[in-house]
Amino acid sequence: MAEHRRSPRIVASVPLEAEMTGRWHQVLTAVINLNGALILSPVDWPAGSGLKIKNVYTGINVSARVVWCGHESDAGYKLGIEFETASPEFWGESYDPQGVEVPWSK
């Protein structure tokens, strides 16, 4: 069965800041796409929770919500987040539509 997605998923470790109810937390992506990400978070937010996400590298902020909650790992809670609107510029150079992780360089 073919998998149909709005944009390719890319394995990428991008540091983000996530805010919910006035508290900011450092999180890290495991997988990114133009519509969201799989993040590793120190906080287990429930599905449906609204977040503000800031990309540490690009400085861009987006609104998102938790759409999937996974298990806790050594790196944190696995959470699937979806942006309110697709944001191609949010990932900057970290997103390569060919599916290749592009390391960030300052």
pLDDT in tens, 11-24: 889 999 999 889 99
* For the chain, domain boundaries: 10-91
For residue 81, what are the β-bridge partners?
Answer: 37, 66
Token pair recorded at residue 36: 């969201």
Whole-model pTM: value is 0.82
Q: pLDDT at residue 4 above 80?
A: no
67 touches 41 (CB < 8 A): no
CATH topology of domain 10-91: Thrombin, subunit H (2.40.10)
* Residue 106: per-residue pLDDT: 38
pLDDT of residue 19: 96
